[in-house]
Chain A
């Protein structure tokens, strides 16, 4: 077999596998879109193009009794608060660990990294008990408040990036009489934008898609997040319901992240590579 032939065969195999895999990856999304535009009577038809095209499902979703807009609003402001909290507090700590020299720095940083080993369930039970005694279960406070006391993943990610920012900038700023806080706020925070953007996307995505925490802290509809709301609607489907409406809800719930993804694909992908390759 010549090299040319070998390459041709490999090309055919590669494209076939990639296209087939691609269809499997995207297929469920196409099915979601298709079903959400079908009439409830057509919900189990096996065609990708709806026999009759309708917007009725979306209208029903936003009718009063489902309270879908409230779910959407809750998911939005809670995810934004969590993202803001993480960006601020992780950047503050990352700056100290990357730039400032102080006693106990390496010990503290190691301790922080060790917390990565603690599964969320371990913190969930005591946190729940505390928030229950504070009568905060059913409110959004237990979901976003812990985001304001930093986090190992975000601090690590930002520290790695801050380490790559040239030290000369710090020295120059020092000569000009800049204080510690000014160096953080005027140099590192703006220059750290690529890493901050990546962390923002990850944090927002994690918060928006989270099921376990809202299930524990805001367990009942309607005042909860989209994930819990959708799970609740699904449960109601058991008693006969419209999958078409459910699919339109699922579609709207993933839309914000899809938009972020299409506009910030580079940050998304570079962020993952940043967290994975650099050690």
Chain B
């Protein structure tokens, strides 16, 4: 980017005036927050009594406190199911839609609907659908002669919640993949067909390599979303006491800070989350350099 508008005289002032909100955000919103959270993670503070220095006690808790550990395993389990689920299903739907089907507009609207609406509102319906004695899902199962399932009990809640989260995310993934698919020139497939490649080969040898940028992007976004997943878990698995049957890290941070007033512990968990996501991103970008094809 060699070209650029040069500010003349007093315009330097206006340039920095335009940038002021962003600079405030960078200094206080981002840098300040990170420093403050790191400091807090070494402290013990309930906001009622003065803070005390806690050393690395909060970080030891990350590995010792059973509930904190459980939240991390839950987040990892959730991510391991959610990310491949979203990527594979939305890719499949995008591929089907890209076959010049009739009524694409209608299908696109239908698949995108959950991505537009609030997770809180749709979780209320899912809660009814999953109901043990009154839900429609068990009603259907019983009609088919199967045993009813306790969908939101501890043993099944993870799967039930992953399904709903995938349901809510397919729409966006589908759009990303459709954009990638429509950019592939038709001639590639035509030439391959003339050479005798069947549809299966065409998909794995032409389509997949050419949309690796979209696959990479969608995997990245889905991973970040997986670590942030909160709304459906809060709405579907919250118990009367305020705990969840499958607490994830984000849930645990909220509870630690705003239910137990353990702001130091919650800060240590927030730092843990940041470090894990940053490491994963670094790994993804390493993969990208090796396997992603940019034309």
Chain A residues within CB distance 8 Å of chain B: 6, 10-11, 14-15, 17-18, 21-22, 24-26, 28-29, 31-32, 35, 44, 46, 89-90, 92-93, 95-96, 99-102, 105, 108, 111-112, 115, 117-129, 132, 146, 148-151, 155, 167, 170, 174, 179-181, 183-184, 205, 208-209, 211-212, 215-216, 219, 226-227, 230-231, 234-235, 238, 243, 246-247, 250-251, 253-254, 257-258, 261-262, 265, 268-269, 272-273, 276-277, 279
A260 to B130 CA separation, bound complex (whole angstroms): 29
- The 8 A-B residue pairs whose C-beta atoms are closest, nearest first, are A101-B4, A149-B25, A126-B36, A150-B22, A209-B118, A89-B21, A250-B121, A273-B179
A258 to B217 CA separation, bound complex (whole angstroms): 27
Which residues from B are CB-within-8-Å of A99? 4-5
Taking a contact as CB atoms under 8 Å apart, the answer to whether A277 and B97 are in contact is no
Taking a contact as CB atoms under 8 Å apart, the answer to whether B119 and A151 are in contact is no
Give per-residue flags for B248-267: 1 if the beta carbon is below 8 A from chain A beta carbons, else 0: 00100110011000010011
Q: List 29 A-B contacts (CB under 8 A).
A: A6-B199, A17-B92, A18-B93, A18-B97, A21-B93, A22-B106, A25-B110, A25-B171, A28-B122, A32-B124, A32-B125, A89-B25, A93-B21, A99-B5, A102-B15, A119-B228, A121-B250, A121-B273, A126-B40, A132-B47, A180-B8, A181-B18, A184-B18, A209-B231, A234-B235, A258-B116, A268-B112, A269-B112, A276-B221
Interface locus among B27-35, B63-71, B80-88, B151-159: B27-35
Taking a contact as CB atoms under 8 Å apart, the answer to whether A35 and B33 are in contact is no
Give per-residue flags for B101-131: 1 if the beta carbon is below 8 A from chain A beta carbons, else 0: 1000011111111101111111011111101
Contacts known (A170-B5, A209-B119, A258-B117); A31 close to B139, Cβ less than 8 A? no
Known: A31-B125, A90-B22, A122-B34. 18 other contacts (CB 8 A): A26-B110, A35-B125, A89-B25, A92-B19, A93-B21, A96-B15, A119-B227, A119-B270, A119-B274, A129-B263, A146-B29, A148-B21, A150-B22, A180-B8, A209-B120, A215-B258, A262-B109, A276-B179
In the complex, residue of chain B having the shortest beta-carbon distance to the beta carbon of A85: B21
Contact pick for B167, options A11, A25, A151, A183, CB 8 Å: A25
Secondary structure at the B interface, as helix, strand, loop or mixed, is helix
Taking a contact as CB atoms under 8 Å apart, the answer to whether B117 and A125 are in contact is no
Taking a contact as CB atoms under 8 Å apart, the answer to whether B29 and A123 are in contact is yes
Contact pick for B18, options A15, A22, A92, A105, CB 8 Å: A92
Chain B residues within CB distance 8 Å of chain A: 3-8, 11-12, 14-15, 18-19, 21-22, 24-26, 28-30, 32-34, 36-37, 40, 47, 92-93, 96-97, 99, 101, 106-114, 116-122, 124-129, 131, 134, 136, 139, 167, 170-172, 175-176, 178-180, 183, 199, 213-214, 217-218, 221, 227-228, 230-231, 234-235, 238, 240, 250, 253-254, 257-258, 263, 266-267, 269-271, 273-274, 277-278, 281
Taking a contact as CB atoms under 8 Å apart, the answer to whether B180 and A277 are in contact is yes
In the complex, residue of chain A having the shortest beta-carbon distance to the beta carbon of B28: A149
Which residues from B are CB-within-8-Å of A215? 254, 258
Which residues from B are CB-within-8-Å of A25? 110-111, 113-114, 167, 170-171
Which residues from A are CB-within-8-Å of B26? 108, 111-112, 115
Contact pick for A167, options B3, B29, B30, B213, CB 8 Å: B3
